């Protein structure tokens, strides 16, 4: 296995990915020379460049550094990528992001958060709780923590908080001391084939938990009985059968106040300033981790109150009170995430009409989950679908956004191009509207333009 101490220079193929950039930052922080390739300039790649990392935006075998000890690639790049192929054919150590996480975490105390949704928020909340309380951790996140404007931070404490990605079975390379499983809904069927195979992968993940370790799983998960851990507790928003749950939940000025029950332990009047009931539930999982680590009650409460959220996770583009319209943006790209997003928005803005713009992500996911997407989107008052964002995939015949549209029962629904959306958005919003954008593609590139038009 590669030794971290031997690495003086590293190259990333796909450095702008959210998980890839966290590891690039880790190496950069540790004095390693970091450079990489990405397809497009984004806010994140610009930030990496400002931090001193060299990034190139065109495939060029002549230019790539030849003196690197390690090449890290993302499975999202095509196998025929010229730079990837050059390194592969010339005997370099070429590994996936998950292999590097395996090496980094082999001798640390690891908190690994897995699940088909919620994992980015819970891992970010957990990392924040450990950092804010002074416990300390190294955090490798799949989103940008608003508090720190980063998806990575370091600590002298040999503890790692890692977002454990189920895509490509990456999470099987980790060794958790504490594992969290949020959901095991069918997804990534292009990799797993069936929902059952995916569930098996999560069961296998629990077998990686170290002896004496903890599993914190969402109450009511299918096949909970097959999950393996020496210490197993469950969490749920409000089901009292779960080991950890909330009671006395109230909405106050767009925030939530609640008590946390964890067996005999009660944490009273916790204040969460992040929207969405699903985020109260996410906070319960993070609080459970902090309590297992014996962090003081007061420090836990202070950290939760100070938490500002994750970019693109129920993020206010225009917050309540900032303008006539409330504008929320979210990364939701699975039917259950959309359901949680809409339910969360309704819990805070029950008196407003909900207009939702959704950009489907991947042809295979749209094809496999079209019924679920339609059912979740029907919960809104009006829906605008954008064309499918292809990411790593080629088009599939007959799979377009119309597949979802045609299954929806909602009356007010349509498909628009990005340009049409920008032209028509002002006719969709007024002071009685909460306007929501959702998707994991490039819909976030439209946010500032949409905001400008709405405010004008």
User: Which residues define the annotated binding site?
Assistant: 115-121
Helices (H), 193-334: 195-206, 277-292, 297-306
Instruction: Name residues whose C-beta falls within 8 Å of residue 182's C-beta, 6 or more positions apart in sequence.
Output: 113, 114, 115, 116, 117, 118, 119, 122, 218, 282, 285
The SS3 of residue 246 is strand
Give the C-alpha separation, 205 to 451, whole Å: 41
CB 13 within 8 A of CB 72: yes
The SS3 of residue 212 is coil
Question: Residue 248 burial by CB count (10 A; 0-12/13-18/19+): exposed, middle or buried?
Answer: exposed
Give the C-alpha separation, 132 to 306, whole Å: 8
Helix (H) or strand (E) holding 234: strand 231-236
DSSP structure class, residue 219: T
Give the C-alpha separation, 234 to 9, whole Å: 43
Q: How many whole angstroms from its chain centre is CA 418?
A: 24
Q: How many helices (H) and strands (E) does the chain have?
A: 14, 21
Annotated binding site for ATP: 115-121
The SS3 of residue 453 is helix
CA distances from 297 to 260, 267, 305 (A): 11, 7, 13
DSSP structure class, residue 350: T
The SS3 of residue 160 is strand
Q: How many CA atoms lie within 13 A of 111 on its CB side?
A: 30
Query: Cβ–Cβ contacts within 10 Å for residue 58, how many?
Result: 9
Closest to 123 (Cα-Cα) out of 260, 250, 307, 246: 307
């Amino acid at each position: 296995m590669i030794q971290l101490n031997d690495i003086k220079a590293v190259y990333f193929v796909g450095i702008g990915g959210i998980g890839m950039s966290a590891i690039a930052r880790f190496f950069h922080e540790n004095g390693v020379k970091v450079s990489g390739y990405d397809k497009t300039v984004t806010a994140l790649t610009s930030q990496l460049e400002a931090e001193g990392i060299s990034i190139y935006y065109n495939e060029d075998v002549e230019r790539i550094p030849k003196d690197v000890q390690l090449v890290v690639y993302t499975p999202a790049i095509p196998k025929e990528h010229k730079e990837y192929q050059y390194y592969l054919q010339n005997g370099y150590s070429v590994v996936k992001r998950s292999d590097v996480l395996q090496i980094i975490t082999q001798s640390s105390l690891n908190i690994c958060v897995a699940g088909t949704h919620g994992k980015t928020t819970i891992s970010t909340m957990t990392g924040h709780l450990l950092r804010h309380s002074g416990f300390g951790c190294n955090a490798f996140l799949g989103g940008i923590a608003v508090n720190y404007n980063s998806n990575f931070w370091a600590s002298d404490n040999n503890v790692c908080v890692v977002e454990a990605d189920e895509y490509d079975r990456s999470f099987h390379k980790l060794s958790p001391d504490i594992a969290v499983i949020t959901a095991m809904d069918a997804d990534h069927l292009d990799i797993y084939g069936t929902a059952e195979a995916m569930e098996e992968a999560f069961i296998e993940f629990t077998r990686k938990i170290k002896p004496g370790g903890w599993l914190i799983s969402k109450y009511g998960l299918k096949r909970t009985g097959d999950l393996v851990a020496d210490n197993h507790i469950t969490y749920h928003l409000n089901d009292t059968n779960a080991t950890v749950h909330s009671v006395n939940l109230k909405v106050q000025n767009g925030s939530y106040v609640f008590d946390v029950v964890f067996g005999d332990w009660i944490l009273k009047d916790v204040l969460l300033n992040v929207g969405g009931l699903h985020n109260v539930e996410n906070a319960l999982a993070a609080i459970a981790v902090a309590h297992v680590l014996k962090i003081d009650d007061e420090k836990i409460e202070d950290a939760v109150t100070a938490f500002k959220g994750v970019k693109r996770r129920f993020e206010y583009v225009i917050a309540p009170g900032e303008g006539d319209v409330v504008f929320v943006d979210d990364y939701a790209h699975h039917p259950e995430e959309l359901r949680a997003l809409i339910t969360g928005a309704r819990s805070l803005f029950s008196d407003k009409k909900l207009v939702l713009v959704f950009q489907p992500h991947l042809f295979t996911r749209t094809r496999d989950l079209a019924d679920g997407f339609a059912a979740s989107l029907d919960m809104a008052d009006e829906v605008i679908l954008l064309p499918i964002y292809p990411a790593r995939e080629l088009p599939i015949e007959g799979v377009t956004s119309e597949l979802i549209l045609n299954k929806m029962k909602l009356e007010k629904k349509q498909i628009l191009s990005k340009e049409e959306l920008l032209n028509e958005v002002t006719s969709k919003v007024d002071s009685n509207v909460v306007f929501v954008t959702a998707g994991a593609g490039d819909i976030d590139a439209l946010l500032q333009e949409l905001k400008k038009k709405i405010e004008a």
